[in-house]
A and B are shown apart, each in its own frame.
Chain A
């Protein structure tokens, strides 16, 4: 159980800079491959039999990377006049990020509550767990209209259901799953020794939960939260399309794709936006991991 003292310091310091450099090198490599293939590959793409293995290298299928970047600074067609594309995309990305964040928070809260319930009552685990797993087999396209219809029937006083809430609900529907599974494993992770120690102290269920089970669950919870964040972002983008919510990246991808013939490079702008949303979400979880590093001491480096 005695950990090597080298384990922790290895996570900090210089390696961070090294990883940033590696990440940047990866992006550069991707750009180089893209442009090399575009320059050298056949215009009609590589086709084996009837199967297209590699895409066409025309400007419509594969615009130049510099065209993609240049188009970001041209004025956008929609929105306020004169706003450059990157600003419009950034606004849409912020909107999507906000909705995804709401969905993530709701999903995390629901997932945690379910996990605590299942930890507390054995019967709840056998009754609820199969449904949690089944819930994820329902395709997103099936639940989106349902959520929208149910939501539209809710209006209490001044409160009325809005489309963005439906999107957030769908995001949370995808986000709660990894959290409930990961948190349940984490809450059950303390060994009998620790549980009995708390019993010997006469600590009740609640004190044991707060002082032992929750801190012990952090190493299991963090990957679950990361997965939940990715699910929430994807869920938001897809649900924006299927529910028809305006203002976010999902709709923008559709709109720009329709103009692809006139400006193929522009199609990529909202895709960059979606990537940015994912990066911000991943960064947030990484930050959370740093804040909670005290609880990750027992963690085996992955």
Chain B
């Protein structure tokens, strides 16, 4: 279960974005949110999108999820149109807000997508029990969202996004609202979960260490108009090797520096060592 890295050229890419522009028509004129985006995500690959606020990360994610459509360019998910992929439930999605339904208990929330797609009661219950164990919330199956902490709610939302065993996970700052401690624990859990499920992930974040810790590749974006500035491959080994110790590792800091250079400077002029913010 460690073959989560890319480089499987024969397989159909999980996400293929080619020459995508997204222009919003607003009352004050047009806003070019994305310009000339090209991106390929291989099956099982973990790709993070990072960049300053307003550079179009969420917009790109929403295009992949078919919650919005590109103005020009083409976009396929597992070789299908984004729309078909959405209808076929090829992806699971999680947002910054957990977005649980307050009137459903934890297991009913996890079972929501299954219920909407006509999965039988017994199968649903079995699946939600499985997922609850995966995210470590088995004792809270009957709790309601308002009885859970923010981190627990987010774990439920992640379990829900995994309910239909999607081959692709789309996550928009899912840990954005969490404190640093919880955040790091959730990151470790997410690495483990994606390794176990073999799902590809497109992960939007504002945190450089988070992107580096989680990803096989980090996509650095720049704003106005939203463009891909650079893509860097993080070589920190397989999921099994990405333990808590990794955060103290020299290689980890090097990668953090590379991404930071990419974010701040035009082009990285070699690594200037570990800087402090």
Which residues of A does B touch, CB under 8 Å?
1-3, 5, 7, 191, 193-194, 196-203, 207, 211-212, 215-216, 218, 294-295, 297-298
Q: Does B149 lie within 8 Å of A2, measured CB to CB?
A: yes
Partner of B97, one of A193, A199, A212, A218: A193
Q: Does A297 lie within 8 Å of B67, measured CB to CB?
A: no
Q: Does B65 lie within 8 Å of A197, measured CB to CB?
A: no
Q: Does A211 lie within 8 Å of B102, measured CB to CB?
A: no
Main secondary structure of the interface of A (DSSP, over half): helix
Per-residue A-contact encoding for B152-186, CB less than 8 Å = 1, 0 else: 01000000000000000000000000000000000
Q: Does A2 lie within 8 Å of B102, measured CB to CB?
A: no
Partner of B99, one of A2, A197, A199: A197
- Please name the residue on chain A nearest to B99 by beta carbon: A193
Looking at B85-93, B203-211, B222-230, B243-251, the stretch in contact with chain A turns out to be B85-93
Q: Does A211 lie within 8 Å of B116, measured CB to CB?
A: yes
Q: Does B148 lie within 8 Å of A2, measured CB to CB?
A: yes
Cα distance A196–B145 when bound, in Å?
A: 19
Q: Is B95 an interface residue (CB 8 A)?
A: yes
Residues of B109-134 at the interface with A, using a CB-CB cut-off of 8 Å, are: 112-113, 115-117
Per-residue A-contact encoding for B44-56, CB less than 8 Å = 1, 0 else: 0000000000000
Q: Is B253 an interface residue (CB 8 A)?
A: no
Q: Could you list 5 A-B pairs, sorted by A, with CB under 8 Å? A: A7-B146, A191-B99, A202-B117, A297-B103, A298-B146
Nearest-Cβ distance from residue A21 to partner chain B, whole angstroms: 30
A-side contacts of B116, CB under 8 Å: 198, 201-203, 207, 211
Q: A199-B67, A200-B65, A201-B89 known; A3 and B99 CB under 8 Å?
A: no
Q: Is B8 an interface residue (CB 8 A)?
A: no
Which residues of B does A touch, CB under 8 Å?
65-67, 86-87, 89, 91, 93, 95, 97, 99, 101-103, 112-113, 115-117, 144-150, 153
- Please name the residue on chain B nearest to A198 by beta carbon: B116
Q: Does B93 lie within 8 Å of A297, measured CB to CB?
A: no
Cα distance A211–B114 when bound, in Å?
A: 13
Nearest-Cβ distance from residue B155 to partner chain A, whole angstroms: 14
Q: Does B89 lie within 8 Å of A196, measured CB to CB?
A: no
Cα distance A142–B115 when bound, in Å?
A: 51
Q: Does B87 lie within 8 Å of A202, measured CB to CB?
A: yes
Q: A3-B146, A297-B146 known; A212 and B89 CB under 8 Å?
A: no
Nearest-Cβ distance from residue A186 to partner chain B, whole angstroms: 13
B-side contacts of A211, CB under 8 Å: 112, 115-116
Q: Does B67 lie within 8 Å of A215, measured CB to CB?
A: no
Cα distance A298–B103 when bound, in Å?
A: 8
Cα distance A1–B146 when bound, in Å?
A: 7
A-side contacts of B101, CB under 8 Å: 194, 212, 215-216
The 6 closest A-B pairs by CB, nearest first: A3-B146, A298-B102, A193-B99, A297-B102, A295-B103, A202-B87
Q: Does A200 lie within 8 Å of B146, measured CB to CB?
A: no
- Please name the residue on chain A nearest to B65 by beta carbon: A200
A-side contacts of B148, CB under 8 Å: 2
Q: A198-B116, A297-B102 are in contact. List 5 more A-B contacts (CB 8 A).
A: A1-B153, A196-B67, A200-B67, A211-B116, A297-B144
Q: Does B103 lie within 8 Å of A215, measured CB to CB?
A: yes
Nearest-Cβ distance from residue A295 to partner chain B, whole angstroms: 5
B-side contacts of A294, CB under 8 Å: 103
Q: Does B95 lie within 8 Å of A2, measured CB to CB?
A: no
Q: Does B86 lie within 8 Å of A202, measured CB to CB?
A: yes
B-side contacts of A201, CB under 8 Å: 89, 112-113, 116-117
Nearest-Cβ distance from residue B156 to partner chain A, whole angstroms: 13
B-side contacts of A295, CB under 8 Å: 103
Cα distance A216–B113 when bound, in Å?
A: 17
B-side contacts of A3, CB under 8 Å: 146
B-side contacts of A297, CB under 8 Å: 102-103, 144-146
B-side contacts of A216, CB under 8 Å: 101
A-side contacts of B144, CB under 8 Å: 297
Cα distance A203–B150 when bound, in Å?
A: 27
Q: Does B147 lie within 8 Å of A5, measured CB to CB?
A: yes
Nearest-Cβ distance from residue A290 to partner chain B, whole angstroms: 15
B-side contacts of A1, CB under 8 Å: 97, 146, 150, 153
A-side contacts of B67, CB under 8 Å: 196, 199-200
A-side contacts of B102, CB under 8 Å: 297-298
Nearest-Cβ distance from residue B128 to partner chain A, whole angstroms: 16
